[in-house]
A and B are shown apart, each in its own frame.
Chain A
Amino acid sequence: MQQHEAVELGEDKAAKFKSKVGLILFGVYSFIYAGFVFVNTWSPKIMETKIILGLNLAVFYGFFLIILAIVMGIVYNHYCTKMENKLNVDEEENKE
C-alpha cells in the first residue's frame, strides 16, 4: 500500500515547471473544449459531417476530447516525473 518512490512533501523544486506546463496544457485543452461547445451551440448541424471510420463530427470530437485528456495526462506526467527526478535528486546530491 505504501508508495516508496514518493516525492517528499517538504520542498518540490519542480513545482514551478509543473505549474507552467499544467497551465499551458490546460489552456490548450480548454480551447479545444470551448470549440466543441461553440460548434454544438451555434452550428449543431455541422456535427452531422462524416469524418473518419463512418463516425460523424459529433462522436469523433467527443471521443477525441476523452482520448486527448488521457494522452495529455500521460505526457504531462512523463515530463513532470522527469523534471522531479532531475531537480529533486540534484538537490539531494548537492546536500550530500
Chain B
Amino acid sequence: MTYPVSFLAVLFFIIFVVMVLALSFYFARKTKTASGYFAAGGTIHWGVNGIAFAGDYLSAASFLGICGMIAFSGYDGFLYSIGYLAGWVVALFLIAEPMKRMGKFTFTDALDSKFNSKGIQLMAAISTLIVSICYLIPQMVGAGALVKPLLGLEHYVGVLIVGTIVIIIVSTAGMTSTTYVQFIKGGLLIIFSTILTVSLIINGLHKKPSDEYHDFVTLDAVFDGESYTPDSQDYKFAGTFKVKDSEFVKLEKDGIFTWWKVKGSDGEFKLEEALSSTIKPDEVVFYNGALASEGRFFQVGHISKLIMNGKEVEKTGSLDPFSFLSIIEESEIVRFAKTSVTDGDNEVTIWYQNPTSGKEIMRPGLKFKVDKGSTFWSKLNFISLMLALFLGTASLPHILIRYYTVPSQRDARKSTIVAICGIGFFYILTLYMGLGAMTHGVLDLSSSNMSAPLLAKYFGVGLFSIISAIAFATVLGTVSGLIVASSGAIAHDLMDRYMGIKMTEKQKVFAGKISALGIGMVAIILGILFKGMNVSFLVGWAFAVAASANLPAIIMLIFWKKTTAKGIASSIFVGIVAALSIILLSPDMFARYGFDKASSPISLSQPGIISIPLSFLTLVVVSLMTQKKKVKV
C-alpha cells in the first residue's frame, strides 16, 4: 500500500530532532565523568525518570505492534499490554531499590557487588549485549519500514537517519541526553494517544466508517461443475483455486483480475469480494489486479452488525469509554483472514472477509490457541509467554540502568511508580486504539504496524502527522536506551571491569562514546540487512532471554544468602543457552527455516516455562556445590 507523503509529519519530526540534538549538545559540556556519561550523574528527578522509563519501555513494539495486534486479533493483543505492565510490579516490589543500592552504572555492577567475579562480569555483559541486540534489530527495521510509507524515503535512508541521530544523542551526553529524549517522547506519546482515544470515543461507532470506504461486492453465481458464472455480465471467470476447506475464484473485469471467495452450496453460490496482492515473476507487485500507485488496495475493517441497546443501528453517536467496549462486544465486525495460492508463476496472497462476533473479539482465542483447536502444548505456549512477559521486564538491561540515574533508593521506587502509572494508562489506551482501527476502515492488511497512525489519519492530517512523528521518536528513544546499555556493557563491564584496563574518568567516557558509535553502526548495518523481514519476534526473544538469564540471578542474589559467584555466572549461561536453544528448535522457527513445523524436535515456541526454572535450579545447585567451607577455630 502507498501513502501520500505528509510534509507536516516531516516538519514535526524535524522539530523533535532539532530539540533533542540541542539538548544533547547542551548536556555534552557537562558530561565529563563516567558517572555522568553512564548514569547521568545520578541527578535525574524521579518524576522525569519515571516518564523516561515509559519513553524507554514503550518501544515501537508496544505502540505500533500492540495496537496492530489488537486491530487484527482483538483481545489477544491486549494480553501483551497486560503482561508487559504486570512485569513492572516485579520491578517495583523486588528489584528497584536493591538494584539502586547494589549497582553503579550497569546491572552487572549489582550482580557483582558482593563478589568481584570475572565470570559474572563476562556472562552478564554477554547477556546484556544479546538482549540489547535482539531488541535493537526490530527497532531499526521498524525505523526503515516507517520512513518509506510516511516520508517516501528508502528503507536504508530511514535506518541511517535514526542510527545517525541516536549515535549523536548517545555519544554527546550519554545517559543525560538519552533520559530527556525518552522523557519528551514518553510524554508526547501518552498525551497524543489520549487525544486520539478521546476523539475516537466522542466520534462513536458507524456501520460505514466513512463516505470513501470501499463497498465490498457480493455476486450470485452458477456452478456448472467446472467453472462459476457470475450473474453480472461485467465479470468473466478466470480460474478457481482450492485452499484447504475454502475455494477462491479469479474474475476478470476491464482487464483487471480480482479474487473472490466462494460461499454457499447445493447449487446456490455467492462470490464475495476479497483483497489480493500478486507478486509477478519479475517481482512487480499488483494490488487487487493493479499497480500500487492506482490505489486499488483499499483500507478495510468495518462493523457488519452494529448493536446498541439490543437494536441494530447505523451509528451510535458519542459514547462513554465503557459503552464503546460493550457495544463492540454485542456487534459483529468484519475482519480479514489471509491465505496464499500459486497462480501459474504468480504468488498470490488473498485477504477474505471473516465476519467475527464481538464476543469472540473481546475474549482470548483469536491469536493464541487457547480455545478452538487448542492443544496442551498451545496452552503451555501461552502460559510460557505470559510468564516471560511478567518476569522479563525487570531483567531488561536498558530498563535496569535507569535505576542509577536517580539520587536515591526512594527516588528509584517513586520513579517506578510514575512509570507504572504512565505505562498502565497508555496500555489501557492501546485497547481503544486497536479496536478503533479495527472498526474504522483504516487497516492496511499488508502491515498491521500502521494501524495506529492510520487511525489518527481518520481524525485529520494534523493528528496523523503528530502521531507519525511520535512513532519515529519512539524508535529514537528506545534505541538510545539500548545503545547506552550496550556501551556500558562494553566500556564498563568488559573493558574496565573484566579486562581490567586502567582508564582515567575522561578515558572511560571516551571508551563509552566509542562503544556507542560502534554499537550504533552495528545497529545500522543490521537494520539494513534485515530489511523486509518480520523481526518483531526478536523482542519476544529479548524478553525470554532476559527473564531466563538475568532474573534468577537478580532475585537469588537479593533473597538467598547462599548464592555464590559461580552460581550466578552458571545460571546466566544456562538461561541464555536454554532460552535460545528452545527458540531455535521451536516449531515457529522451523516454519521460518522452510521446514514442516511437525518436524521440530520440541513442541514449545516460548521457552520461559522451561528455561526460567532451569536457570533458577542451576543457580541453587551450583551455589550449594561452591559454598566456602567454614574454618573451625
Residue positions of A touching B, CB distance < 8 A: 1-3, 5-9, 12, 15, 18-19, 22-23, 25-26, 29-30, 33, 36-37, 40-42, 44-45, 47-48, 53-56, 58-59, 62-63, 65-67, 69-70, 72-74, 76-77, 80-81, 84
B446 at the interface (CB under 8 A from A): no
Can you list 26 pairs linking A and B with CB atoms under 8 Å apart?
A: A1-B44, A2-B45, A3-B45, A3-B406, A6-B407, A9-B408, A12-B101, A25-B89, A25-B93, A36-B82, A37-B387, A41-B382, A44-B364, A47-B363, A48-B359, A54-B322, A54-B325, A62-B78, A62-B82, A63-B428, A66-B85, A69-B85, A70-B417, A73-B421, A76-B417, A77-B414
Contact of A1 with B43 at beta-carbon distance under 8 Å, contacts A12-B101, A47-B363 already known: yes
* Inter-chain contacts of B411 with A (CB < 8 A): 3, 6
B390 at the interface (CB under 8 A from A): yes
* Closest-CB distance, B21 to chain A (whole angstroms): 20
Chain A interface mostly:
helix
B420 touches A69 (CB 8 A): yes
B93 touches A70 (CB 8 A): no
A59 touches B325 (CB 8 A): yes
* Inter-chain contacts of B98 with A (CB < 8 A): 19
Interface residues of B in 376-429 (CB under 8 A from A): 379, 382-383, 386-387, 390, 406-411, 413-414, 416-417, 420-421, 424, 427-428
Q: A2-B43, A26-B93, A37-B386 are in contact. List 12 more A-B contacts (CB 8 A).
A: A1-B48, A7-B410, A9-B101, A29-B93, A37-B383, A47-B363, A54-B322, A58-B364, A62-B78, A62-B431, A66-B427, A74-B417
State how many residues of chain B have any CB contact under 8 Å with chain A.
Answer: 58
B370 at the interface (CB under 8 A from A): yes
* Inter-chain contacts of B363 with A (CB < 8 A): 44-45, 47-48, 56, 58
* Closest-CB distance, A76 to chain B (whole angstroms): 7
Residue positions of B touching A, CB distance < 8 A: 43-46, 48, 75, 78-79, 81-82, 85-86, 88-90, 92-94, 97-98, 100-101, 322-323, 325-326, 329, 359, 362-365, 370-371, 379, 382-383, 386-387, 390, 406-411, 413-414, 416-417, 420-421, 424, 427-428, 431, 558-559
Contact of A6 with B410 at beta-carbon distance under 8 Å, contacts A36-B82, A44-B371, A66-B428 already known: yes
Closest A residue to B382 by beta carbon equals A41
B371 touches A45 (CB 8 A): yes
A2 to B431, CA, bound (A): 37
* Inter-chain contacts of A69 with B (CB < 8 A): 85-86, 88-89, 420, 424
Contact of A59 with B94 at beta-carbon distance under 8 Å, contacts A3-B46, A67-B424 already known: no
* Inter-chain contacts of A7 with B (CB < 8 A): 408-410
Closest A residue to B85 by beta carbon equals A66
A5, A8, A18, A42: residue with the most chain B Cβ atoms closer than 10 Å: A18
